[in-house]
Structure 1
Amino acid sequence: MVADIVTSGPTKFEQLKANSGHLREPLLSELGNTAPNFTENAVQILKFHGSYQQDNRDKRQKGQTKDWQMMLRLRNPAGRVPAQLYLAIDELAERYGNGTLRVTTRQAFQMHGVRKEHLKEVIGTIVRSLGSTLAACGDINRNVMAPAAPFSKAGYPAARQLADDIADLLAPQAAEGSYLDLWVDGELSYRIKPSAPVRKVKARQSEGGVFSGDGQEPLYGSTYLPRKFKVAVTVPGDNSVDLLTQDIGLVLFCDPQGRPQGANVYVGGGMGRTHNKEETFARTADPLGYVAYGHLLDLVQAIVALQRDHGDRQQRRHARMKYLIHDRGVDWFRSELQSSYFSHPIKGMRQEPTIRLEDYLGWHRQDRGLWFVGLPVLCGRISGSFKAGLRRLVDTYKLELRLTPNQDVLLCNIGTAQRSSIRAELAAMGIESPEAPAPLARHALACPALPLCGLAVTEAERVLPDVLDRLDGLLHQLGISKPVLVRMTGCPNGCARPYMAEIGLVGSGPDLYQLWLGGTPNLSRLAEPYLEKMPLGELEPTLEPLLRAWQVAGGRVSFGDFVVRQGRPAVEALLTAA
């Protein structure tokens, strides 16, 4: 497919990708040198291999070398982590990382603190343990999300299978060879092995408008995508995956026997934005239509190809698919998709039930004779005695983990006879009631922010527990028992999806935050910004008049709905009443 006409040549970043030899150089050349860090060009290619270069900003000293280290992110479709893989990354975190693991909001594990000289051993061990970091970062399809619960009922198995299939379908072909060359010396036995149906659809990446023109990388081409790309699958009514924030969101319908029939398709969501750049914004996805199950994989790769060809490659801030759809409209998008990339019917959307933010905490029946238990993990950080206890449970009972978009951990495949002993071990770890964490903490999210994220302008993860305690104290003081959905980030890029929260705190300077209000408990509406630079110390006096008005009104509706019903002028007046 011929891309849109551009008025200038490729940008430096686009040229870097084109010259990399399908993501090999200059990373390969620099991997073996003795420098403690990679150059900027190698860092950009390293992202496609699942790693970011960082430095510990707590240790920065003027005139001194930065404390360079690498963050690794795994590829875990639908959040699945087999016992063998978990035990491997747990040990790697202790031996080569900072001793912690972190569950991300995309259902994957991150590992922090890996030195450059240990990077090959760490990634190589992950691959040899049947894991992968390929395409966990970079201008490519990221980890594919799906409900983490291992239910054998309804459409859950089909949704998990579709997420796996999409992950394999959108895995880069030539880049996979580069990945194995760098990290396991070209050992091909670790290649991604798609199912027969996926291989059949993947073969069509070399046909028609979907073909990039690059025989080695037929879908992506030598410059891959303009920016990152995110896909999620779910079942009707389950919004654990924050569906409307995805580039592609699929709601999979199944018959009573669990056989997939087709999916409602949403396109063009995304959270990232930049302060003081009004041309950048958070956006929820638009409904595209309903597509039969047999054509869904073709549809997904067709949408990727459309974004490959029409996404903005001149301005990276404007390169996500959400801007393409915002600028041209979903009707243009549908028309272009069907005229050049996808020949099958796109029908009207099927009716869906009211959605809920599911979290699966506590004990649940997985299947006959099997159970799983959801453990709350605030901010997804696994460390200390909790990390040691989790390893002991996984190692003793060979339990599979499932990671949730809410940064929690599900321990799966627990036999009925094992329940009592696992309950006792969880209680010894201080987890006696996993189904009942503190109400505000239950769905709260924060990004890592300082000290490791280079984009952070202020704190998030390290201060969230205190922020929640303060808000809890304020709600208790006002006699409010209804929980509020809180999310917090150290910059505007939106990694913890704060723009969907009822109260979103978005870092705008040291100890300063934008205040976003009006999202919903089920993640169905975008919040709006109300204050640009609220000092964190003024959180309580700022929010108290608004929360008090909600309490006086009876608190029957959610806090986010109350904000929207009051209207902007009334809310602004209450925020400044202090």
Structure 2
Amino acid sequence: MSTPDRSRDITQPLETLHPNERLKANSRFLCGTIEQSLADPITGALAPDDTQLTKFHGFYQQDDRDLRDERRRQKLEPAYQMMLRLRLPGGTCTPEQWLKLDDIGRRYGDGGLRLTTRQTFQFHGVLKRDLRTTIQDINSVLLDTMAACGDVNRTVMAAVNPHQSALHAKVQEHAQAVSDHLAPRAGAYREIWLDGERVDPDKDNEPIYGPTYLPRKFKIGFAVPPVNDIDVYSQDLGFIAIVEDGDLQGFNVCVGGGMGRTDNEAATYPRLADPIGFCRPEEMIAVAETIVTVQRDYGDRVDRKRARLKYTLDTHGLDWFKGEVEERLGWSLGEAREVAFEHNGDRYGWLEGDDGHWHYTLFIENGRIRDWPDYPLMSGLREIARVHEGEFQLTPNQNLTIVNISPAWRDTIERLLQDHHLTQGRRQSALRRNAMACVAMPTCGLAMAESERYLPSLLIKLEALAEQAGIADTPIVTRMTGCPNGCARPYLAEIGFTGRAPGKYNLYLGGGFHGQRLNKCYLENVGETKILEALEGLFQHYGREREPGEPFGDFVIRVGYVPEVTAGRHFND
């Protein structure tokens, strides 16, 4: 096999590439002029170029879109604010860290915390003047925001709750290891936020990423069958644990997942990852780094809409990609093993682990943690954190598990849950427990429609339709995003919504119940009336004619409402 030309994009003149490539190359390893932007007292915003670089430092510049028109009439600049995201491999944090994040959210954010679909925290509403203090406070409890966004490997996901079993603990260790290995090495984060040494381009370097990092973001996740809670097939790189007689043998390696797309651009589409082989646990780091470097060298650096690994695979072919990976490794991957997933949801309530310790999973609607008049969620979790001796575990479905509770402390935790009405939660129908939404309005600049603020009220109406159809106790995976970028993984949902305009959505049907199949557009650019009309008929039909145990996504394909999508490149057919 001849060695491919790995210098295609590296030697291509920068002026022919996307402007972000030139920005990264000239940024002094992501320093840019961020410090000057922070020091400018005239505006609440950062310089335009710096708003791209700060993503690598873990935050996005946004503004409150609810206030845009009024501020424009008053001839004021937009109400600029920042969304900070933590890098939290596997989604685990200690009670001490929880209390610090709770304090930060109330002092510098919008008064709450948000759990994301990638098992980490986001702070919304942080002002420019508070950025350095906020990041230093995060660092004080050994957490950071570095590489939580940007053209790098982001937060690594792992099967929920490392304390559930020794196997889950091993998988969590591997997630932490690959996250540490693929973290950026240059010192821009320390220089700007932690008063570290200045970055010297002659001495500092990025041994894995190089001076222009990756063409786009890169996502990695670890799954432990039979639960696909991380939606492993949505990841650029997915590792599926292979277990024999309770021992971790290694991982199936899957590549090329990704949810983002652009409406009316057929060349963009969601895609599920394909298995390319099997590796032993001790080989996993080398496999991860090698796959990242192939994407670094061959990903599209001209068209950012087609810069994810999924398009690299479909451009060059899966066989070519596997061959390139194996040539760089110097050895061949094993044959992928058989795996079986059953669902991708969370198990709520109490669960006993292998070691006799207990774990309690709370439903957190759309990941939003704050106090409501009838539901003091944030206060209750704060009181639990003050006495809890275990950890907190964020789930990929925006929920929270209080983990590693010793039998002696179970009654105490149970009492605190009850005292704050957390065991009742808010409305928890089968439909709602399997639903999630992205943030969207008013802070996300990409949102074209509501999502987090709208889905709860839509679900009330869908719950009534499900009750009338006799399917109220049937879980149906439902997800909504305010735009087509897919942050809440809507293209894997049995019922998916993506925003097109205020009050208008695409309705998708037919995703797999355990994340194994993409869905298909059923209605385009419709409002609530059309959505409810369509789903009322679908629910009635499903209630009458479903087969025993048949998921809703399977039913709508079997009876012909939508065709099965067999590959991402056919999603728009």
CA–CA separation in structure 1 for the residues paired with 2:534 and 2:62 = 35
Aligned length: 543
Where does 1:18-57 land on structure 2 (aligned, <5 Å)?
A: 18-34=25-41, 35-57=43-65
Secondary structure at the aligned position of 1:139 is classed as coil
Letter in 1 for 2:466: L
Contact 2:64 2:79 in 1 (8 A): yes
Pair 1:427 & 2:418 matched = yes
2:337 to 342, 350, 357: 350
Letter in 2 for 1:373: Y
Q: CA deviation at 1:356?
A: 2.3
Q: CA deviation at 1:4?
A: 2.1
CA–CA separation in structure 1 for the residues paired with 2:23 and 2:170 = 39
Q: CA deviation at 1:397?
A: 2.4
Contact 1:163 1:233 in 2 (8 A): yes
Secondary structure at the aligned position of 1:93 is classed as helix
Letter in 2 for 1:486: T
- Per the normalisation by structure 2, the TM-score is 0.91
CA–CA separation in structure 1 for the residues paired with 2:203 and 2:253 = 28
Pair 1:223 & 2:230 matched = no
Give the fraction of aligned pairs with identical amino acids, expressed as a percent: 41
1:196 alignment partner in structure 2: none
Q: CA deviation at 1:97?
A: 0.8
Letter in 1 for 2:360: V
1:4 to 1, 8, 11: 8
2:567 alignment partner in structure 1: none
Pair 1:127 & 2:115 matched = no
CA–CA separation in structure 1 for the residues paired with 2:426 and 2:173 = 27
Contact 1:150 1:366 in 2 (8 A): no
CA–CA separation in structure 1 for the residues paired with 2:390 and 2:163 = 15
Query: Deviations 1:417-437 (Å, cap 9, x if unpaired)?
Result: 211121121112222357993
Contact 2:345 2:397 in 1 (8 A): no
CA RMSD of aligned residues (A): 2.1
Query: Deviations 1:241-288 (Å, cap 9, x if unpaired)?
Result: 000000000012244353x32210110000001111111101101111
CA–CA separation in structure 2 for the residues paired with 1:534 and 1:214 = 55
Where does 1:396-475 land on structure 2 (aligned, <5 Å)?
A: 396-432=387-423, 437-475=428-466
Pair 1:173 & 2:185 matched = yes
CA–CA separation in structure 2 for the residues paired with 1:483 and 1:252 = 26
2:83 to 67, 71, 82: 71
Q: CA deviation at 1:484?
A: 1.4
CA–CA separation in structure 2 for the residues paired with 1:171 and 1:214 = 18
CA–CA separation in structure 1 for the residues paired with 2:419 and 2:101 = 24
Where does 1:352-367 land on structure 2 (aligned, <5 Å)?
A: 352-367=339-354
Q: CA deviation at 1:399?
A: 4.1
2:323 to 330, 335, 348: 335
CA–CA separation in structure 2 for the residues paired with 1:433 and 1:414 = 20
1:252 alignment partner in structure 2: 241
Query: Deviations 1:300-338 (Å, cap 9, x if unpaired)?
Result: 000000000000000000000001111222111111212
Pair 1:560 & 2:542 matched = no
31-40 vs 442-451, which moves further = 31-40
1:199 alignment partner in structure 2: none
CA–CA separation in structure 1 for the residues paired with 2:243 and 2:193 = 40
Secondary structure at the aligned position of 1:159 is classed as helix
Contact 2:153 2:219 in 1 (8 A): yes
* Residues 564 and 20 of structure 1, relative CA distance in 2, 3 Å threshold: same
Secondary structure at the aligned position of 1:16 is classed as helix
Where does 1:73-472 land on structure 2 (aligned, <5 Å)?
A: 73-153=85-165, 155-174=167-186, 177-186=187-196, 216-256=205-245, 258=247, 260-339=248-327, 341-384=328-371, 385-432=376-423, 437-472=428-463
Where does 1:539-578 land on structure 2 (aligned, <5 Å)?
A: 539-554=531-546, 556=548, 557-568=550-561
Q: CA deviation at 1:570?
A: 9.4
Contact 1:149 1:360 in 2 (8 A): no
558-567 vs 118-127, which moves further = 558-567
Q: CA deviation at 1:359?
A: 1.1
* Residues 525 and 569 of structure 1, relative CA distance in 2, 3 Å threshold: closer
Secondary structure at the aligned position of 1:349 is classed as coil
* Residues 359 and 187 of structure 1, relative CA distance in 2, 3 Å threshold: farther
Question: Where does the alignment leave 5 or more consecutive residues of structure 2 unmatched?
Answer: 565-573
2:515 alignment partner in structure 1: 523
Secondary structure at the aligned position of 1:120 is classed as helix
* Residues 567 and 313 of structure 1, relative CA distance in 2, 3 Å threshold: same
Query: Deviations 1:123-152 (Å, cap 9, x if unpaired)?
Result: 011011110100000000010000122335
Contact 2:392 2:402 in 1 (8 A): yes
Q: CA deviation at 1:172?
A: 0.8
* Residues 514 and 152 of structure 1, relative CA distance in 2, 3 Å threshold: closer
Query: Deviations 1:434-476 (Å, cap 9, x if unpaired)?
Result: 7993211112010000000000001000011111111110111
Contact 1:363 1:435 in 2 (8 A): no
Q: CA deviation at 1:347?
A: 1.8
- Per the normalisation by structure 1, the TM-score is 0.90
* Residues 290 and 355 of structure 1, relative CA distance in 2, 3 Å threshold: farther
Q: CA deviation at 1:216?
A: 1.3
